[in-house]
Chain A
């Protein structure tokens, strides 16, 4: 079973707008990560947030984590056509070290 579930499944926005995608998970975690996948390619790591952190920034990316709700959000500001990709959250559980579980992903389309 997948640990994380992303919402929405698909998102279409205009270039310059912000994109927000959410991830919910089921069990307690050590860390939560976000990855990006261009069509037909491998995944690329974007950002990691630890369970004792609430917010983290990296360039145009902002990630929040709410462990009480078992949820995280990824905000991409001032989106560009090149941001078009699928975005996945991944978690490693407290009781399952090394086991990295991915969610179902959000497909983002940024229209020029």
Chain B
């Protein structure tokens, strides 16, 4: 089945540790995105990538890093510099072709700092 997969579903991190969230898509989409969602809030854009080996900062990039070495993969690293990382993280992809910007979302990773 085609889709976008995030793993793990739940992740626990000790303070001071870096952790990496996985996002893989087999939809052949060029664009990929990472969003953060806090309880009862909307989605805030962390990073986005239009094409392999290229990515841009979103509105809340501080304390996060990404890579886009393959079209299918867009992992997000939450670094120790992120002071309040506990949140729900959502990955999305989009074909962005012919004005069709519909985004497909993974099921999310819930990160908790312990």
Q: Which residues of A does B touch, CB under 8 Å?
A: 1-2, 6, 30-31, 33, 35, 40-45, 48, 50, 88, 90, 92, 97-105, 107
Q: Which residues of B does A touch, CB under 8 Å?
A: 31, 33, 35, 40-45, 48, 50, 56, 58-59, 88, 90, 92, 94, 96, 99-108, 110
In the complex, what residue of chain B is closest to A104 when comparing beta carbons?
Answer: B42
A98 CB contacts on chain B under 8 angstroms: 31, 48, 50, 94, 96
A67 to chain B, nearest CB (A): 16
Q: How many A-B residue contacts, CB cutoff 8 Å?
A: 72
Complex alpha-carbon distance, A88 and B43, angstroms: 9
B100 CB contacts on chain A under 8 angstroms: 48
A64 to chain B, nearest CB (A): 19
Complex alpha-carbon distance, A102 and B60, angstroms: 13
Complex alpha-carbon distance, A53 and B42, angstroms: 26
With known contacts A45-B102, A99-B48, A104–B41 Cβ distance under 8 A: yes
Complex alpha-carbon distance, A75 and B106, angstroms: 26
Complex alpha-carbon distance, A30 and B48, angstroms: 18
Known pairs A40-B108, A42-B108, A101-B45 / 19 extra A-B pairs, C-beta < 8 Å: A2-B59, A30-B99, A30-B101, A33-B102, A35-B103, A40-B110, A41-B108, A42-B106, A43-B92, A44-B105, A90-B103, A98-B31, A98-B50, A99-B45, A99-B48, A102-B35, A102-B42, A103-B42, A105-B41
- Complex contact B44–A2 (CB within 8 A): yes
- Complex contact A43–B90 (CB within 8 A): yes
Complex alpha-carbon distance, A61 and B35, angstroms: 26
B104 to chain A, nearest CB (A): 7
A45 CB contacts on chain B under 8 angstroms: 102-104
Complex alpha-carbon distance, A35 and B92, angstroms: 12
A30 CB contacts on chain B under 8 angstroms: 99, 101
Complex alpha-carbon distance, A6 and B108, angstroms: 22
- Complex contact A2–B42 (CB within 8 A): yes
- Complex contact A42–B33 (CB within 8 A): no
Name which of A33, A41, A43 has the most chain B CB atoms within 10 A of its CB. Answer: A43
